[in-house]
Amino acid sequence: MDLLELARGPVIQIAVYVLLIGSLWRLLGILFLQQKPDFSEPRQAGGLRGALKVIWTRAFTAPVFKKATVYSKVLAYTLHIGLFVTIFFFVPHIVFFTDVFGVSWPGLPNNVIFLVGVITVGVALALLIRRITHPVLRLISNFDDYFSWFVTILPVVTGLIMPIRFGVRFETLLAIHIFSVALLLVWLPFSKLAHTFLVFVSRGTTGAILERRGAKT
Amino acid sequence: MKTTPTLGQVLQARGVSRRGFLKYCATTASLLALPPTMVPRIAAALENARRPSVIWLSFQECTGCTESLTRSASPTLEGLIFDSISLDYHHTLQAASGEAAEAARHAAMEENMGSYLVLVDGSIPLGNPGFSTIAGISNYDMLMDTVAGAAAVVAIGSCASFGGIPGAYPNPTGAVSVRDLVTDKPIINVPGCPPIPMVITAVLAQFLTFNQLPELDKLGRPKAFFGQTIHDRCYRRPFYEQGLFAESFDDEGARKGWCLYKLGCKGPITYNACATVKWNQGTSFPIESGHPCLGCSEPDFWDGGGFYKPVSTGDFGSGAALAGAAAAGVALGVAAAAVSRRRQAKTIKEG
């Protein structure tokens, strides 16, 4: 079994199993937690409405914080959009998803993806520098933050190297790229990267509670 | 050793012009990535080379490799050069049969001890000697007996190089490659199903010219021909870069000649010279005919997960295993919540 077969076979298989088990474990573990009984009279009904409202409104910064957070907000949005575009609009990736889920969608030209990938890595570096240089942010950062940054950006870097090659064989680079994705998938459910699926749960829960209490969200 | 005509004399007798011969030498030099200054050296070496004795052994094979070399539409120069080597034993092509054929092989071995070349096509079955025999001799015995006095061994085709189709899962005959068995002789793998004729003769030409083996990659293939992927040199590569793909064999993309990546093309992971040397006197190669590359010059291409499965797809095992993983995740989540609830209740109770 060569490196690519190992990556495409057992390694990615195990990574997907871990992702699946870990994500469901964490998600259901939280959803089935004992809810604190709320004996107050609900001021407004419709928990779901409040949940969806907060999921939407928290996507934007409150006017009062706009000036203070504009730098990190723009960078964070660029990073997330960059990751989304490179993951879901690069044609070989679409082929991968089609094979798994059976649905296909149009992709973007490779040079566009390459450009977006470079921007994504640049933005991630800017965010890392900010994390290291900002005194408060540095204080509240732990291993999880740095390692999560590393495993997120590693697949982008290993993907960007593929067309350049640096004299390394294509299948070796592809195997390394898949290994880096496997690392991300394994790390994701057990780290701060779990916000991929928990972000809407936490925001939705907050929204539902606030809506019940009649708060302006 | 008996006096044999030189290659130059043979070609001249066959009506090959000096211009045609030099053209072949220049093409060979460029294929081997040698500078143009080497062309006269190749020409001189090939002209004066005594016909090397070649013993061709065919084991578990389909004769496609021999067909590839001999079935050209018109005789090519490389074909003629190949004819001009002293092919002392090739049981498909030789007129002699039975004991006479085996006697020819032994005679060639004795006369050219230490200097003859052994070309092998087909894999060697180890499961049972009776699976494949020639004149009552098992393939294994014949190979080991013949290579003992050889200067070098050239494994022609993917079966001899890597086990090929006979070695595909579940490998009922226990087929192995030449490299699995021969460890004390230089081996050049010229894989492909079949390999490109020009590549075979260029390897022979280099051996005759420089009396040394070409530079090989980790799989024992000459780097000059197997140094780049089909994808690297594919004329459809710009479509790949632009994101223009054929989705099926009869859609608009296929008609427009767009990239065949989505149809399972193995070009990105296949090292061979098809995209540059091409087939049938440079007419075309599979991708040019609208079919994805199967990756036939790579080990285990037959078991590579499906010819029409794109390179970037993964293997996730069965759906049942995924469902099992999901069920395990659900169970763990519910159990974790239950433990948490119990702890919480205990804390409340204890106050």
- A–B: how many Cβ contacts below 8 A? 119
CA distance B173 to B61: 13
Residues of A in contact with B314 (CB under 8 A): 8-9, 12-13, 96, 99-100, 178
∠ CA B169-B170-B175, rounded to 5°: 85
Give CATH superfamily name and number for B52-226.
NADH:ubiquinone oxidoreductase-like, 20kDa subunit (3.40.50.700)
Chain B closest-CA separation from residue A5 CA (Å): 9
Residue A1 pLDDT class (50, 70, 90 cuts): low
Residue A4 CA, distance from chain mean position: 25
Mean predicted confidence (pLDDT) in A188-204: 93
Neighbouring-strand partners of residue B138: B133
Name all domains of chain A by residue range, CATH numbers in brackets: 3-31+43-213 (1.20.950.20)
CA distance A75 to B237: 34
- Residues of chain B short of pLDDT 50, as ranges, are 1
How far, CA to CA in Å, does A213 sit from each of A34, A47, A206, A209?
20, 10, 11, 6
Mean predicted confidence (pLDDT) in A135-157: 96
CA distance B295 to A172: 16
CA distance B351 to B345: 10
Look at residue A203 and tell me whether its pLDDT is greater than 70. Answer: yes
Question: Of the ranges A27-41, A191-205, B37-51, which is most confident?
Answer: A191-205
Residues of A in contact with B333 (CB under 8 A): 24-29, 31-32
Look at residue A196 and tell me whether its pLDDT is greater than 70. Answer: yes
What are the structure tokens assigned to A19, written together?
Answer: 């992702």
Chain B closest-CA separation from residue A24 CA (Å): 5
What is the model's pLDDT at position B80? 57
What is the model's pLDDT at position B1? 46
Look at residue A64 and tell me whether its pLDDT is greater than 70. Answer: yes
Residues of A in contact with B242 (CB under 8 A): 109-110
* Residue B1 burial (C-beta neighbours within 10 Å; 0-12, 13-18, 19+): exposed
For chain A, the average pLDDT equals 90
Q: Name residues whose C-beta falls within 8 Å of residue A215's C-beta, 6 or more positions apart in sequence.
A: none
Residue A79 pLDDT class (50, 70, 90 cuts): very high
CA distance A52 to A170: 45
Look at residue A71 and tell me whether its pLDDT is greater than 50. Answer: yes
Taking alpha carbons only, the member of B56, B160, B47 closest to residue B101 is: B56
What is the model's pLDDT at position B121? 93
Q: Give a three-class secondary structure readout of B149-195.
A: CEEEEEEEHHHHHHCCCCCCCCCCCCEECHHHHCCCCCEEEECCCCC
Contact B332 A33 (CB under 8 A): no
**What is the end-to-end Cα distance of chain A in Å, rounded?**
56
Could you tell me the residue ranges of all domains in chain B?
52-226, 230-303
Write the DSSP string, B207-249.
Answer: HHHHSSPPPB-TTS-BHHHHSSBHHHH-TTHHHHHHT-B-SST
How far, CA to CA in Å, does A20 sit from each of A10, A87, A147, B280, B328?
15, 19, 21, 51, 9
Residue A125 CA, distance from chain mean position: 16
DSSP H or E run through B116: strand B116-121
What are the structure tokens assigned to A110, written together?
Answer: 């490779």
What is the model's pLDDT at position B255? 95
Neighbours of B317 (CB within 10 A): 16
Contact A32 B333 (CB under 8 A): yes
Q: Name residues whose C-beta falls within 8 Å of residue B192's C-beta, 6 or more positions apart in sequence.
A: B157, B158, B199, B272, B296, B297
Q: Pick the more confident residue, A63 or B34.
A: A63
Contact A176, A1 (CB under 8 A): no
What are the structure tokens assigned to B320, written together?
Answer: 């049942």
* Residue B106 burial (C-beta neighbours within 10 Å; 0-12, 13-18, 19+): middle
Amino acid of residue B304: G
CA distance A194 to A186: 11
Contact A100 B321 (CB under 8 A): no
Q: Which CATH architecture has domain B230-303?
A: Irregular (4.10)
Taking alpha carbons only, the member of A2, A9, A170, A91 closest to residue B270 is: A170
- Phi and psi angles of residue B6, each rounded to the nearest 5 degrees, phi first: -75, 165
- What ipTM was estimated for this complex? 0.73
Mean predicted confidence (pLDDT) in A125-150: 96
Selected residue of B316, B344, B349 to mutate for chain A interface (largest A Cβ count, 10 A): B316
Write the DSSP string, A12-47.
Answer: HHHHHHHHHHHHHHHHHHHHTSPPPP--SPPSS--H
Helices (H) and strands (E) in chain B, counts: 16, 9
Residues of A in contact with B340 (CB under 8 A): 29, 33-34
Taking alpha carbons only, the member of B140, B229, B153 closest to residue B189 is: B153
What is the model's pLDDT at position A198? 93
